[in-house]
Chains A and B, each alone.
Chain A
Amino acid sequence: VVTQSPDSLALSLGERATIKCRTSHSVFSSIDNADYFAWYQQKSGQPPRLLISWASSRHIGVPDRFKGSGSGTDFTLTIDNLRAEDVGVYYCQQGHSAPYTFGQGTRVEIK
């Protein structure tokens, strides 16, 4: 189970967004010595886009305003200097054990 909070977030341009996820079991792998945890962004009318893998590694082309942190069971996505193009729904996902579950999503809006 992956529990994500908050359900929604309304912030002003330039502010920091913080989204948290908790997994029911540790997603750390001793084989890869890393956490199997990811974050995705979904904008309206588009498929989800991988932002962060390995809990903290930004995917190709993702701005450094997006930062993933955490390990084991608790993870955070931080978006610094919020911009209009960051509006959308953000999902976390554990990739450790089937069925590789996602959080229910956090909708980020601009005030």
Chain B
Amino acid sequence: QMRFQESGPGLVQSSETLSLTCSVSGDSTESSGNYWGWVRLSPGKGPEWIGSVSYLGTVSSNLSLKSRVSLSIDTARNQFALTLKSMTAADTAIYYCVRHRMGPYGTTLHFYDFWSQGVQVTVSS
């Protein structure tokens, strides 16, 4: 059974940087065809995809956040990480790590089949 363990602060000061790490058990971050992503859920809104990193280390991210987002993967530790700079109140949300997979013809499928429990991140002024 695959599981995620997220770690990171629940409270971030405005203009500071958020750093979250997601440790994976029950699967391998270097398994062919695995993608590892971040999704956040803000009050009163639908979920928002932040970005993903592949098992090869290829990164894609939401253009609305791209200048502030950094994603990385550490296959030796079986974990991946998110850094979000210049945090504001609008970034207050529950942050989830997710897994998605490669499709049968090599496309990247954005169907998120495993989710972490989520970390509530609040930006304080």
Contact = CB atoms under 8 A, between A and B. Distances in A.
Contact of B64 (A4, A59, A99): A99
B110 A102 contact: no
A31 B108 CA distance: 11
Given A32-B105, A47-B96, A99 B111 contact: no
Interface of A: 2, 4, 29, 31-32, 36, 38, 40, 46-50, 53-54, 59, 91, 93, 95, 98-105
B107 interface: yes
Majority DSSP secondary structure for residues of A touching B:
loop
Contacts, number: 67
A59 B103 contact: no
A32 B104 contact: yes
A95 B46 contact: no
B49 A31 contact: no
